């Protein structure tokens, strides 16, 4: 590879990881339509061809730094543990391992069973490590509303998706905590039930007042 070409490839890769370090949801289509956004980091990709960006992504996937579905342009591009290490070595800031505020984000969607978008949306929730509560209900311990709305918009089902915040998952509380946290104290759950109930009632009252 010629020196100039190599420098361009390295600049493109750095720009890509700068975007990933922002901690926002990034999709293949989002990267390839970089000219439509005002964000300066995405604009930095504007001088590169779609072919070159795709080649760079394939290389990072081959190196085990990212994961994504090449056949689905709406597929989120996800950093692997190796990818997070790459960012850390570059001394970039990223959102990872936030402190849990003891509230669950519930993603509820009502999309017809026969729609392919429903299958794809569920697939992405699983890839993003969301916990399945019921058929059309998934839970996540951290703030994710903006990303979920963005993903729903990508699949043209924004009006069919809602995000709620609740303090307790009932019978799913223990398995959900096991899913996300390696160490937890079951006593903490029972001790928190009364507080959760008060918070839940309070949120119901506030919700009713806003109607």
Q: How far apart are CA 149 and CA 47, in angstroms?
A: 29
Cα–Cα distances in Å, from 192 out to 55, 102, 104, 168?
50, 10, 14, 9
Domain range for residue 37?
3-89
Residues 120, 204 share a domain: yes
* Domains held by the chain: number: 2
Q: How far apart are CA 175 and CA 173, in angstroms?
A: 6
Under DSSP, the state recorded for 36 is G
pLDDT at 177 (0 to 100): 92
- CATH assignment of the domain containing 40: 1.10.10.10
pLDDT at 13 (0 to 100): 87
Location of structure tokens 């949120």: 203
- List the chain pLDDT tens, one digit each, 211 residues: 455 555 667 888 888 887 887 667 788 887 777 555 546 667 677 778 888 888 999 999 999 999 998 888 888 898 887 887 776 555 433 334 467 889 999 999 998 876 788 888 888 888 788 999 998 999 999 888 888 888 888 788 999 999 999 999 999 999 999 988 865 555 554 444 444 444 333 333 333 333 3
pLDDT at 190 (0 to 100): 46
Q: What's the CA dihedral at 187, 165, 204, 194 to 10 degrees?
A: 10
> Domain boundary residue among 40, 63, 89?
89
Location of structure tokens 């398995």: 175
Residues 202, 109 share a domain: yes
pLDDT at 75 (0 to 100): 84
> Domain boundary residue among 29, 61, 89?
89
Angle of CA points 34, 37, 42, to nearest 5°: 50
| Closest residue by Cα to residue 119 from 107, 130, 133, 135 | 135
Cα–Cα distances in Å, from 106 out to 126, 136, 138, 180?
14, 10, 6, 15
Residues 100-118: b if buried by 16+ CB within 10 A, e if exposed:
eeebbbbbebebeeeeebb
């Amino acid at each position: 590879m010629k020196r100039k070409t190599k420098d361009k490839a390295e600049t493109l890769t750095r720009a890509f990881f700068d975007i990933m370090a922002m901690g926002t949801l990034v999709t293949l289509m989002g990267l390839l339509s970089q000219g439509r956004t005002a964000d300066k980091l995405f604009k930095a990709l504007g001088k590169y061809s779609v072919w070159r960006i795709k080649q760079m992504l394939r290389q990072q996937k081959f190196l085990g730094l990212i994961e994504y579905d090449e056949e689905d342009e709406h597929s989120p591009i996800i950093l692997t543990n190796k990818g997070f290490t790459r960012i850390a070595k570059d001394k970039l800031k990223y959102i990872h391992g936030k402190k849990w505020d003891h509230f669950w984000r519930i993603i509820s969607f009502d999309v017809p069973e026969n729609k392919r978008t429903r299958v794809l949306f569920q697939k992405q929730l699983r890839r993003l490590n969301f916990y399945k509560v019921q058929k059309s209900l998934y839970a996540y311990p951290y703030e994710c509303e903006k990303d979920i709305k963005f993903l729903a918009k990508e699949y043209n089902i924004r009006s069919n998706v809602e995000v709620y915040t609740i303090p307790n998952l009932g019978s799913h509380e223990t398995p959900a905590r096991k899913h996300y946290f390696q160490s937890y104290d079951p006593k903490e759950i029972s001790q928190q039930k009364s507080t959760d109930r008060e918070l839940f009632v309070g949120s119901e009252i506030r919700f009713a007042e806003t109607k």
